[in-house]
Structure 1
Amino acid sequence: MAVLSTEDEGKFLMDAQGEQIGIVTEVDPERQVAYVEPEPDLTEAWVQGLGFGDADEDDIEVVADAVGTITDSELRVTVDL
């Protein structure tokens, strides 16, 4: 199981095949949940990349148990969302 932190905000969420699912907008480290904007526009991606965004109602929740690896730029899930 991966351990999520607020440092993961702004990273891309990728599926097991390497396809981009969205961008992490916010992480709740206590609940170990990442909130992901599934279709960010360019402005949202830029803001999230700088770490200034917040989760909103259309974000999907990804629990840490679904994340297999974390790198400097992405989180990769091991299951289909």
Structure 2
Amino acid sequence: MASCDSKVCVQSDPTGRLVISGDHEDPDNPWGVTPFKKVVSLPSRIDSHQTSAVVTLRGQLFVRVPFEQSK
């Protein structure tokens, strides 16, 4: 799963890794935003097809990461 806009990208894979990265498209940005990347290893396998992310107008990032159901 990958959810990206021009500034933030959230990716997940079935092994339980969540990668959140970002970059500002304007190199002369007035907010001093710098590129970043954060990798989080989750304790269980995740459902990468159901993972979603949204950035609010206030700049808050919400990520929904459901775990895979046992079969």
TM over 0.5: no
More helix by share: 1
> Which structure: larger Rg?
2
Bigger relative contact order, structure 1 or 2, given CA contacts below 8 A and separation 6+?
A: 1
TM-score range, shorter chain: 0.3 to 0.5
TM-score, normalization by structure 2? 0.32
